[in-house]
Amino acid sequence: MNFNELLQDVVQKDTLASLRAVQPELTLCATIIAILLAKILIPAWKQSPFHLTVIGLATAMFVGFPWHGSAAAAVSTLAQPIFTASLVSDSFTTVVRFFLLTFAMLFAAFAEISTDGEDDRTEFYVLILGALVGMCLMISANHVLIVLLGVEMASVPCYVLAGLKRRQSKSSEAALKYAVFGAGAAGVMMFGLSLLAGGLGTAHLPAMAANLAKMIQGGISPQQITILSLGGLMVMVGVGFKLSAVPFHFWAPDVFEGATAEVAAFLSVASKAAALGLLMRLCSAFAFPADMYFHSPIGELLPQASLIAALAPVRQYIVAIVAVLAAVTCTFGNLAAYGQTNMKRLLAYSTIAHAGYMMMPVAAAVALIRVGSDGVSVDGARDAVASLVTYISIYLFMNLAAFAIVAFLRNATGSEEIADYAGLVRRSPGLTVCMAIVMFSLVGLPPLAGFQAKWVMFYSLIEAAHVCPALWALLSVGLLNTILSLFYYLRVVRVMALSPEPLYREAPTIPLTSMVGMYCGLLTAPMLLLFFALDRVLPWAHAAASTLF
């Protein structure tokens, strides 16, 4: 193939097909441009950013939704490497991206309700959409460069978002902390990725794994092991930063406290979901380079089972790192949440704890890839990925609802201290009930969706523990943490429902029939609905998992 043919091939076949697969991302980019243009051309149109954002997101959801039929149809969407295999478009991308866009839609409505009448909302929406594009790249990354690009594209707008309240010193401090920490983490990650890419002779993730497998088969030197495991650890630093996994979580409480509750909601949900998607991608790429998307740029196809068997030590390594990180993150998040008096800080630690829970199925998925004499078995691993996707879909509503209520209460009382919520049940019973439902859902009590999220997660963890007994420890950590977490979530509810109203404060009245109340109701309803209709989510989750391995 000469250069001209190659060029033709790339332009005609690859690019056109690729562009079709990234329609939602293109829509988001077009929306960003439209918003910016609208601000310049029609300065009087105050509502412009919100309306355009909603239209853009709706279009993106429309083109990004696997409309044709049900979840079963999504399964048949095979993994498709796009843009010369630097991205991969499969049902995992489609489903998680759809969740992200759904979240963004709900989030836009929330931001519109809670920041009604404020300035600089154009910037806000543009930055949110920009970060979303980066997150979409993260979940479909198939190449080292895209991993980096995605992480950076998702992070940089968030640094600005954290500092959007320029006149508040806490907000600026948060932005600076976030940016410095993020830059450091990204640097370490870049170094790690270059170690890996250099050590393995390519930057295409599945090809890297294939080279690694061959290296292991052919005997790997201790120096190489050192370099590669160091590289892996450094990559985990970057991902851990996005996940706010302990010990890379220091930014989270400060940023959540300094930034507005809206921005914190975005960071807490979208950013986490994308980071988990990336983690899942990286882990699956190195644990099991499936032939579905294993088209190295040279077009070489390699025999699979032996390679996958050869990757067993890599899988052990991944399981160990992710499991330890998950256990530490979960426990630390829950313990640190105890002492918090600021609601946003408490939710920051709760986010950290939940990041820990959500890393558990990742470890389970990698542990469940088994190579036996009768071939490779990935059913359990798919279950585990499905449980992760289910968790994300439920977590999305829980945390958005929590932050939304915090923002509405801030608008009404001007405070985000838990103590100032005392006795709210008397004036705003509906809102308090919503908050209680959200908090108990975060603990994971039935009959609320949070229980189903934990349930599918523990289910896959037990499945994995049968293969890898060390994961029993992770399971017990998860269960123990569920009990631990009860205290601080319950404290919020206790203050709102049980504590007497302070004398000096006029309690805000937020009826459920108001716009704010209805929005809270809308976000709380899925806590109950998803509990009973888990069956509706599972097929999508399984569809998402089906093309990953």
Using CB under 8 A, list all residues that contact another protein.
425, 429, 433, 440, 445-447, 451, 458-459, 462-463, 466, 479, 482-483, 486, 490, 494, 497-498, 534-535, 538, 542
User: What is the DSSP annotation of 173-192?
Assistant: HHHHHHHHHHHHHHHHHHHH
Amino acid letter, 42? I
Phi-psi domain of 422 (left: phi exceeds 0; alpha: psi -120 through 50; beta: other): beta
Q: How far apart are CA 249 and CA 251, in angstroms?
A: 5
Place of tokens 């997101």: 57
Q: Taking the complex as a whole, how short is the minimal distance between the CB of residue 397 and another protein, in angstroms?
A: 19
Q: Taking the complex as a whole, how short is the minimal distance between the CB of residue 478 and another protein, in angstroms?
A: 10
Number of continuous H segments (helices) and E segments (strands) in the chain: 24, 4
Amino acid letter, 512? L
Place of tokens 């932050």: 403
Closer to another protein by CB, 46 or 466: give it: 466
Q: Residue 324 contacts by C-beta under 8 Å, 6 or more apart in sequence?
A: none
Q: Taking the complex as a whole, how short is the minimal distance between the CB of residue 69 and another protein, in angstroms?
A: 19
Q: How far apart are CA 447 and CA 449, in angstroms?
A: 7
Q: Residue 105 contacts by C-beta under 8 Å, 6 or more apart in sequence?
A: 54, 57, 58, 61
Count of CB atoms situated within 10 Å of the CB of 417? 15
Q: Taking the complex as a whole, how short is the minimal distance between the CB of residue 121 and another protein, in angstroms?
A: 35
Sign for the pseudo-dihedral over CA of 180, 182, 185, 191: negative
Q: Taking the complex as a whole, how short is the minimal distance between the CB of residue 498 and another protein, in angstroms?
A: 5
Closer to another protein by CB, 251 or 458: give it: 458
Closer to another protein by CB, 191 or 455: give it: 455
Q: Report, in this order, helix, strand and coil percent for the chain, each rounded to 5.
A: 75, 5, 20
Closer to another protein by CB, 218 or 469: give it: 469
Closer to another protein by CB, 155 or 331: give it: 331
Q: Taking the complex as a whole, how short is the minimal distance between the CB of residue 520 and another protein, in angstroms?
A: 14
Closer to another protein by CB, 33 or 529: give it: 529
Closer to another protein by CB, 191 or 472: give it: 472
DSSP 3-state of 466: helix
Q: Taking the complex as a whole, how short is the minimal distance between the CB of residue 492 and another protein, in angstroms?
A: 13
> By CB neighbour count within 10 A (0-12 exposed, 13-18 middle, 19+ buried), where does 444 fall?
buried
Q: Taking the complex as a whole, how short is the minimal distance between the CB of residue 486 and another protein, in angstroms?
A: 6
Maximum alpha-carbon separation in the chain: 82
DSSP 3-state of 287: helix
Write out the two tokens for 185.
């983490």
Closer to another protein by CB, 69 or 500: give it: 500
User: Are 175 and 258 in contact, with CB atoms under 8 Å apart?
Assistant: yes
Q: Taking the complex as a whole, how short is the minimal distance between the CB of residue 480 and another protein, in angstroms?
A: 8
According to DSSP, residue 502 is labeled P
Q: Using CA atoms of 129, 130, 133, 137 in order, give the dihedral in degrees to the nearest 10.
A: -150
Q: Taking the complex as a whole, how short is the minimal distance between the CB of residue 76 and another protein, in angstroms?
A: 19
Write out the two tokens for 483.
């009990």
User: Are 445 and 344 in contact, with CB atoms under 8 Å apart?
Assistant: no
Closer to another protein by CB, 11 or 479: give it: 479
Write out the two tokens for 432.
């308090």
**Of 264, 240, 243, nearest in space to 170 by CA:** 264
Q: Taking the complex as a whole, how short is the minimal distance between the CB of residue 541 and another protein, in angstroms?
A: 9
Q: Taking the complex as a whole, how short is the minimal distance between the CB of residue 374 and another protein, in angstroms?
A: 18
Closer to another protein by CB, 508 or 521: give it: 521
Closer to another protein by CB, 313 or 447: give it: 447
Strands 375-377 and 370-372: antiparallel
Closer to another protein by CB, 424 or 433: give it: 433
